[in-house]
Structure 1
Amino acid sequence: MARIDHYNSPDAPAANSVVPSTTAVVTDEDGRILLVHRVDNGLWALPGGGMELGESIEDCAIREVREETGLDVEIAGLIGVYTNPHHVIQYSDGEVRQQFSLCYATRLLGGTLAHDDESTDLQWVHPNDIQGLKMHPSMRLRIDHYLAGEPTPYLG
């Protein structure tokens, strides 16, 4: 299913749903960040997705990382809460979702790197090389907040 991210756009359609979701920063021993190249919008992003009934938001982050990357992680901390009502995601099925996402820092436990059908590629990227990638501003914001290493989570 295709999607269009509307970010602070006056022409954005009105949201008709809210789905709690997560993104996760997964790093390797060299400090590189794992990114997925998404099928639905062609952009690089942190692994993540929508919460399912019966799971906690932390379990959602762990599950999404495993599904999208093949890796096992544990939650190491909260980077931020992202609820900008002017960031809506328009899907080809008519859903227009208001952003509601928590971004977590993780610790890599193991697994075998493999992408699923939601992405075309996975890549470990050094933080200095991220600026050159085609990425939505909301993903850059999360990565910037992670790299800033603030003692308290971003709220916004």
Structure 2
Amino acid sequence: MKEWLGAAAVCLNEQDEILVVRGYDSPGWEVPSGGIEIGETPEQCCEREVKEETGYDVKVVDHLHTKKTKIQEIKVTTYYFKTEVKGGSLGINDPDKTIAEAKWVSISEFLTLKHAYPEDTPYIEKWMKKLYRS
């Protein structure tokens, strides 16, 4: 069975807004994420994908969750990390040309968005409240 490994970033700013992106081929929003390249750790992948998809330099500060699922005949593992912005500014520089839009949204707005991966929404809501409201 084919396998895909990826990483995703849960990144909140000082206003407790979460960074989300929307792809050209998706009507839904998601946290920045992508596939792990050869020689990369999940953490390095996470930091690279955020930079490419949003323009922000981030640092992984904590592992939140590992999601394992099967999509068609592909075994999918995605590592979710809490990240902090260290620099940069909002701007898409995605070499794959898949990201249409990136923005910061509040927790309440996040819950009303159409999500690319709706099964992740309860986890992300819980992490947002736990990590940044305590």
TM-score w.r.t. the length of structure 1 is 0.74
RMSD over aligned Cα, in angstroms? 1.7
* Larger-gyration structure (1/2): 1
For the residues of structure 2 that align with 1:18 and 1:76, how far apart are their CA atoms?
26
In the alignment, is residue 140 of structure 1 matched against residue 125 of structure 2? no
Runs of 4+ in 1 over 3 A off after TM superposition: none
**Identity, % of aligned pairs?**
29
Aligned residues: 127
Q: Counterpart of 2:82?
A: 105
SS of the equivalent of 1:124 reads strand
**Structural mapping, 1:62-73, within 5 Å:** 62-73=47-58
Q: Note closer, same or farther for the CA distance 1:113–1:57 as it changes in structure 2 (3 Å cut).
A: same
**Structural mapping, 1:26-37, within 5 Å:** 26-37=11-22
Deviation at 1:148, TM superposition (A): 4.8
For the residues of structure 2 that align with 1:81 and 1:58, how far apart are their CA atoms?
12
Q: Which has the higher helix share?
A: 2
Q: Counterpart of 1:5?
A: none
Q: Is there any run of 5+ residues in structure 2 with no aligned partner, and where?
A: none
**Structural mapping, 1:73-84, within 5 Å:** 73-84=58-69
Deviation at 1:59, TM superposition (A): 0.4
For the residues of structure 1 that align with 2:74 and 2:27, how far apart are their CA atoms?
19
Which digits, 9 at most, give the CA deviation of each residue in 1:28-82, with x for residues without a partner?
1111001001123221000010000011111010011111111000011011010
